[in-house]
Structure 1
Amino acid sequence: MLKKFLALVLFVLLPAAVFAASAPNIKGQYTAVPGKEFKYDGKTVEVIEFLSFYCGSCYEFEKSIPVIKGNFPKKLKWKLAPVYWGNGSSKPGEAYFLAEEAGKGEQMKKALFKAHFVDKKDIGDIAVLESIGAQIGMGFDFSVKLRNGAKAAEARRALDMAREYQIEETPTLIIAGNIATNPHAAGHDMNEFKNNVMSILRSIIKK
């Protein structure tokens, strides 16, 4: 009986293991991340978006994301990993993580981009971030946690992940565990980048 049970377990798990180990024939422009495995359970594809709230290309790519998600309803698990370069601050990323925890991540993301690119505000300034938090309905504890660095470790982990995945520019997407693509692959044409991302996803999901 035990042998039959183990055989049944192996029969159920083997297809998933094979899927995780071997990538399908992927179309589009991308690089395979060294040391990382392709992962797809046949249901949803994980997409990690490395972005900076100071990044113009990230801001421009923002309008493409609903289009991409709309083409693959309930098929994508989209995560953000906010990073910063040079003289940027970790505080916008910390503000995002606090908002995400409160179920307001998307609102904070849009508000941060608007504050920096439209309103020309310093999103590294705590007072500016507190004002943004108030606008999207974050409570008083948002300011306390932001000033106390409650999400500083999470912001550092995002930077560590960027190094781990060898991220050199933003936005960069890591798709299905080890497929990396960024606007450089599309000549920095953001519409072509969107199309490239969808080509990669179609190759995986077989839509």
Structure 2
Amino acid sequence: MLKHLVLAFAMVALAPFAAQADDYKEGEHYDLISPPIRTESGDKVEVVEFFWYGCGHCYNFEPLIGQWKKGLGEDVAFVGSPAVWNKPMELHAKAYYTAEVLGVLDTMHPVLFQAMNVDRKRLQSDKEIKELFTANGVSGEDFDKAYGSFGVNSQVRQANSRARAAKITGTPEMMVAGKYRISTRKAGSQADMLKIADFLIEKERAAGGAAE
């Protein structure tokens, strides 16, 4: 009897999600990426956020996605991927991966967003970016070593290739499992982008795309 009650409760709890999930349609609310892109997160469902530090929409998205990431299961891997459409954006992508290599991404990620969107700094030179890092506790020597490294430059090239393969047209956009692209334009809002991402993560789980 208890088993039946638990099952009934679970069905009721999932009913709103199921009804909502039925509303999300390929081509209408999200796009299929063809051919799919190889992911780098093993048997986890990989979720990629394409962003740019100078994008006001990305800046506004950060608090939402920061909170959303806290609720992701252990079978989901979140990957930040800076967009690279021109030389200044390449410098900003190098700043992201430099912060990651130095283990200061949690500090520098919001600092870089604030510098460009609140403080109105353009960050169009290596010198400006270095000054931002050193002002936040990173030694100039450590910055130079990471910023000019083969590893960081390689990651920037990979980010550029990833965005091109996903055919992103703006930022922020998201990709799930290398198969689905979510844009604000089709999702309707940034909050709905995350709801659709949740739906697609569940879709991958149901298809056996991630370890439970």
**Shorter-normalised TM-score: what interval?**
0.7 to 0.9
Q: Could you say which residue in structure 2 is the equivalent of 1:179?
A: 180
How far off its partner does 1:46 sit?
0.9
* Partner Cα distance (1:44, 1:140) in 2: 36
Q: Could you say which residue in structure 2 is the equivalent of 1:88?
A: 88
Count of residue correspondences: 181
Q: Could you say which residue in structure 2 is the equivalent of 1:12?
A: none
Structure-to-structure mapping, 1:58-207, within 5 angstroms: 58-86=58-86, 88-145=88-145, 148=148, 150=150, 151-187=152-188, 189-205=189-205
Does the Cα contact within 8 Å between 1:26 and 1:203 map onto a contact in 2? Answer: no
Letter in 2 for 1:138: V
Q: Could you say which residue in structure 2 is the equivalent of 1:4?
A: none
TM-score w.r.t. structure 2 length?
Answer: 0.72
How far off its partner does 1:124 sit?
2.1
Root-mean-square deviation (Å): 3.0
3-state SS, counterpart of residue 137 of structure 2: coil
Gaps of 5+ in 1: 1-24
How far off its partner does 1:42 sit?
11
Letter in 2 for 1:74: E
3-state SS, counterpart of residue 129 of structure 2: helix
Letter in 1 for 2:75: K
* Partner Cα distance (2:69, 2:23) in 1: 18
**Cα distance change of structure 1 residues 134 and 204 upon mapping to structure 2, 3 Å threshold:** same
Letter in 2 for 1:92: H
* Partner Cα distance (2:22, 2:153) in 1: 36
Q: Could you say which residue in structure 2 is the equivalent of 1:11?
A: none
Structure-to-structure mapping, 1:34-53, within 5 angstroms: 34-36=34-36, 44-53=44-53
How far off its partner does 1:174 sit?
1.2
TM-score w.r.t. structure 1 length?
Answer: 0.73
**Cα distance change of structure 1 residues 203 and 141 upon mapping to structure 2, 3 Å threshold:** same
Letter in 2 for 1:61: F
3-state SS, counterpart of residue 81 of structure 2: strand
Letter in 2 for 1:172: E
* Partner Cα distance (2:48, 2:126) in 1: 27
How far off its partner does 1:166 sit?
1.3
**Cα distance change of structure 1 residues 203 and 68 upon mapping to structure 2, 3 Å threshold:** farther
Does the Cα contact within 8 Å between 1:183 and 1:193 map onto a contact in 2? Answer: yes
How far off its partner does 1:175 sit?
0.7
* Partner Cα distance (2:154, 2:133) in 1: 20
